[in-house]
Structure 1
């Protein structure tokens, strides 16, 4: 006695299709799907050539691995949720505190413009500070000469190249420095502000400052007690 293999696979496919279409948009093979396929295979197998023990063990091993992966994914989701909650909880400790964090954003609100701090690793013969708006266009450029290594405060007057007052909003600062030989000098930027809000993102916990700017909790280098 023999069974038409074409009919066999058509039946197998039909059974699997009936199972998956009754679920909510199944896009991956679940453990239930695996059992359904295995039972269907046993039901439609050729009695004269049944599935041998080795093949059955291999399939059951695959099922066991699928179960373990599913359980692992569930545990990872739980761990991620716990870490997110822990991060938010840590961020809440900064509410109302003034923080200093790595960053390059300043905010203009009328005559009030955020201060930015520039740290030079070595003495700089020239320091060029470019100010960009949120569209990436340069609004103003300021140049300083003869600066010693260390941290200095940078304050923008809120005007553009033409001396006209710039629009209110956030701006970005990019500073580059060179020494007397024209070699680049490392220059980092940091900002300060009072934390008024805490949120979570794919990149980590975000602290919102009193002027609307945001910094990452991981970038905070100092906070008032």
Structure 2
């Protein structure tokens, strides 16, 4: 009587299984594990059957795989529920004006969005840099020295040569020096009216009326549209 080699049949089955799965599949799931186990049992050498310890070990591996799969499914369900809850909570922001940490501003016609910033200490040689979306520096406004306090900056929408820039979104970076002369990047805040919500990689983003988006976690102030925000001193830019 010819005896079929257990290892040979199992090797053939593994080759067939590898050929049948899609190219992006790199890990065994529960079904794959069971198919391999059944194939081993069906084609084992009757004169040298699988050892009980080996069988127990493989069943234990299957149990662990099943538990890990269930844990992964449970975690994903919690993440999905949390994302849905965040979306529902964020609906209340629609139609409101928000202020949030950010480094961009928008220009629409003759109107530009206001940039806010605060200083916890006096600074020197402060300047505001405006960048196009491709990273090109289009404007630098020298503000000079500032005492600690709350401030806002209003760009006139023009570049260094006094030419009006196209409508769109621009980056803003406020830099200064502290009392020791070390450079300081000042955290700016942007503002706008919320018109919708979007999600990206599990993060809920508020979509502003001018097309910009802000992370809901970075919002520091919410007011009704048309309401005045905290009084601040204003830096108004003028192209030279």
Output the TM-score relative to the length of structure 2: 0.85
Q: Which residue of 2 aligns with 1:207?
A: 206
Question: How many Å apart are 1:43 and its aligned residue?
Answer: 2.4
Unaligned runs of 5+ in 2: 225-240
Q: For the Cα contact (< 8 Å) 2:127–2:140, is it kept in 1? A: yes
> For the aligned residues, what is the CA RMSD?
2.2
Return 5+ residue gaps in structure 1 as ranges: none
Q: Partner of 1:220 in structure 2?
A: 219
Bigger mean CA offset, 210-219 vs 39-48: 39-48
* Inter-partner Cα distance in structure 1 for 2:49 and 2:156: 84
Between the aligned partners of 2:29 and 2:213, the Cα distance in structure 1 is: 42
Given that 1:20 and 1:33 are in contact with CA atoms closer than 8 Å, whether structure 2 keeps it comes out as no
Residues 117-176 of structure 1 show CA distances to partners (whole Å, capped at 9, x for unaligned) of 121221012111111111011010011112111221101111112111111100010111
Structure 1 position 181, deviation (Å): 3.6
Task: Quickly say closer, same or farther: Cα 1:149–1:26, change in 2 above 3 A.
Answer: closer
- Equivalent residue number for residue 169 of structure 1: 168
Matched with 2:182 is 183
Aligned length: 223
Displacement after TM superposition at 1:66 (Å):
1.0
Deviation at 1:185, TM superposition (A): 4.0
Distance 2:35 2:183 in 1: 66
Displacement of 1:22: 5.9
- SS state of the match for residue 211, structure 2? coil
1:193 match: 192
Q: Given that residues 83 and 202 in structure 2 are in contact (C-alpha distance below 8 angstroms), is that contact kept between their aligned partners in structure 1?
A: no
Using the TM superposition, give the Cα deviation of residue 36 of structure 1 relative to its aligned residue in structure 2, in angstroms: 1.6
Displacement of 1:87: 1.1
Q: Are 2:4 and 1:12 equivalent residues in the alignment? A: no
- For 2:109 and 2:202, how far apart are their aligned partners in 1? 31
Query: CA separation of 1:180/1:52 partners in 2, compared to 1, >3 Å: closer, same or farther?
Result: closer
TM-score, normalised to structure 1's length?
Answer: 0.90
Question: Is contact 1:91–1:198 with CA below 8 Å preserved after alignment?
Answer: yes
Offset from partner CA, 1:60-85 (integer Å, 9 cap, x none): 00010111111112112211211111
User: What does residue range 64-75 of structure 1 map to in structure 2 within 5 Å?
Assistant: 64-75=63-74
Partners of 2:86 and 2:192 in 1: CA distance: 20
The 1:24/1:187 distance shift into structure 2, 3 A limit, reads closer
Give the Cα separation in 1 of the matches to 2:202 and 2:117: 24
CA contact (8 A) 1:120 1:186 kept: no
Note closer, same or farther for the CA distance 1:39–1:207 as it changes in structure 2 (3 Å cut).
same
Structure 1 position 148 matched with structure 2 position 162: no
> For the residues of structure 2 that align with 1:216 and 1:110, how far apart are their CA atoms?
26
